[in-house]
Amino acid sequence: MEKCDVAIVGAGPYGLSAAAHLRRLKGLDIRLLGEPMSFWERHMPKEMLLRSPWVASHIADPSEQLTLDTYRRVNGNRQLAYPVPVKDFINYGHWFHRQLAVPTDPRKVTRIDLASGGYRLSLEGGEELEAGRVVVAGGIQPFAHRPKIFADLPTSLVTHTSEQVDYANLREKETLVIGAGQSALEAAAFLHKAGAYVEVLVRNSTVHWLGHRAWMHKKPISWFFYGRADVGPAGVSLAVQRPNLFRRLPRRIQEWWGIRAIRPAVSHRLAPYAGYLPTHTGRFPVQADVDGDRLRVRLNDGTERCVDHVVLGTGYRVNIALYPFLSSEVLQRVERINGFPRLDAGFESSLPGLHFLGAPAAWSFGPLMRFVAGTEFASPTLARGILRKARGRRFYAVCSLVQSRGNLREGPSNPLA
Ligand SMILES: Cc1cc2nc3c(=O)[nH]c(=O)nc-3n(C[C@H](O)[C@H](O)[C@H](O)COP(=O)(O)OP(=O)(O)OC[C@H]3O[C@@H](n4cnc5c(N)ncnc54)[C@H](O)[C@@H]3O)c2cc1C
């Protein structure tokens, strides 16, 4: 069976960035597992533009040589626009991966079990790999939230936004979009462009538009209100940008600010669509039944809609138990809070040698971990944590050696015995 020191599961922005940092640790044998950028390729709308600012869309590498700016310069791609189109970001991710030259296996990890020296990973096709440590950077796709009333309905009638890269299949169809955030309103706009008849249901009493305080985002003063990643409202954003500060805040404040930072909100870029997309606030579905080849949906106000398709812009709810590759033995030994693993300062869970990056790290390090910008903090912190543990082990090994030699020399009177 093949062996390595660290296996990284997932080659999205967090996995790629972790690989870039860990490959710098001398003598560390790492493997990157999974197809690079596959979530962005298969689960995001083809025409999407990135929501994050340019400065917060670099995948972090230790020498800061693999930024979007370098990518643009090296590739002579002066056309790389801002906001960054998703297809360009995907190409950037692949370019980043090629520069790393890290041993990569594009197969999926089907299972992670405990083994004597650490972990045993089963790969698609049946091969196995043994690793001293595992870094889970598996992203959010398994956490796509499907409200109960839609849980058992077929995807021909109901899809989550993560299941649609374009909406050409819904041309001239009557569709209902559910949700109040960017994904929902963006899906509604794409549906409209694709020629579908769209109605949007928003549970909240209003749609929260971003960018209405444009003056606070102006360059000379924005640093006073917002962190570089621009995650969260004025002030809160500054704390979110500093995960080591955020994690030291009282839990009550972390929770309150965490919710504020990621509450459903919509970019002002979609505002032009708002005028002609029928959007109803304070409405949500309470029942859904198949009616021939359509869906009958009853709303909280007692009215009904009979539609061809429902698109759920209902977001993602982190719960690592939904990662299909974590064996129950592994899962049971990971301390969890509301589905998130509790992580130490080096992103290590309560199960030694098992680390989590990306959205699952948000309970421990705050909402920045849900965005590409979080790689700048997470990857070097992970690398330092692993290095510290390795040094600690070496120190411990030396101590044990000294102790055993002392035992041999001094017999039972050795105070270390
Ligand atoms: C519609 C949408 C728009 C977004 N826009 C932005 C934005 O503009 N800016 C921003 O910063 N963030 C944005 N985000 C958030 C974005 O998802 C995260 O910032 C980013 O993807 C986090 O990177 P990651 O590596 O944690 O996860 P991912 O990018 O999801 O990567 C995880 C990878 O792990 C792989 N994987 C999973 N399981 C296995 C397995 N068993 N074996 C091998 N591989 C596996 C997946 O296939 C995937 O490629 C957006 C999210 C959505 C849904």
Q: Is 415 within the bounds of a domain?
A: no
Range of the domain at 253: 214-262
284 & 161 share domain: yes
The pLDDT score that the predictor gives to residue 217 is: 75
User: Domain ends where: 312, 336, 351?
Assistant: 312
- Residue at 116 is within a domain: yes
Which amino acid residue places its CA nearest to atom 2 of ligand 1?
44
The token pair at 278 is 């029928």
Q: How confident is the model at residue 412 (pLDDT cuts 50, 70, 90)?
A: very low
Say what the pTM is. Answer: 0.93
For the chain, how many structural domains are there in total?
A: 3
Q: What is the pLDDT of residues 139-198, one digit of tens each?
A: 999 999 999 999 999 999 999 999 999 999 999 999 999 998 999 999 999 999 999 999
Cα(358) to centroid(ligand 1), Å: 8
Distance 301 CA to ligand 1 centre (A): 36
Q: State whether 204 and 219 are in the same domain.
A: no
The answer to whether position 364 is within a domain reads yes
Span from the CA of 140 to the centroid of ligand 1 (angstroms):
6
Q: Regarding beta strands 104-105 and 158-160, do their DSSP bridges make them parallel or antiparallel, or are they unpaired?
A: unpaired
Residue 213 has pLDDT above 60, yes or no: yes
d(CA 92, CA 90): 5
Among protein residues, the one whose CA lies closest to atom 15 of ligand 1: 371
Distance 351 CA to ligand 1 centre (A): 24
pLDDT tens-digit series, residues 69-101:
999 999 887 778 889 999 999 999 999 999 999
83 burial via Cβ count (<10 Å: 0-12, 13-18, 19+): middle
In a shared domain, residues 125 and 13: yes
Judge if the beta carbon of residue 36 lies within 6 A of ligand 1: no
Which is the closest atom of ligand 1 to the Cα of 358?
26
Q: Is the CB of 315 under 6 A from ligand 1?
A: no
Give the model's pLDDT for residue 78: 73
**Residues whose CB is less than 8 angstroms from the CB of residue 10 and which lie 6 or more positions away in sequence, other chains included:** 33, 34, 136, 137, 138, 139, 358
128, 10: one domain: yes
> pLDDT tens for residues 10-64?
999 999 999 999 999 988 999 999 999 999 999 999 999 999 999 999 999 999 9
- Of all protein residues, the one whose alpha carbon is nearest to atom 12 of ligand 1 is 371
Residues 153 and 85 in one domain: no
Give yes or no for residue 51 CB within 6 A of ligand 1. yes
CATH of the domain at 340: 3.50.50.60
Q: Is the CB of 109 under 6 A from ligand 1?
A: yes
pLDDT of amino acid 397: 57
Q: Which atom of ligand 1 is nearest to the CA of 15?
A: 25
Whether residue 15 has its Cβ less than 6 Å from ligand 1: yes
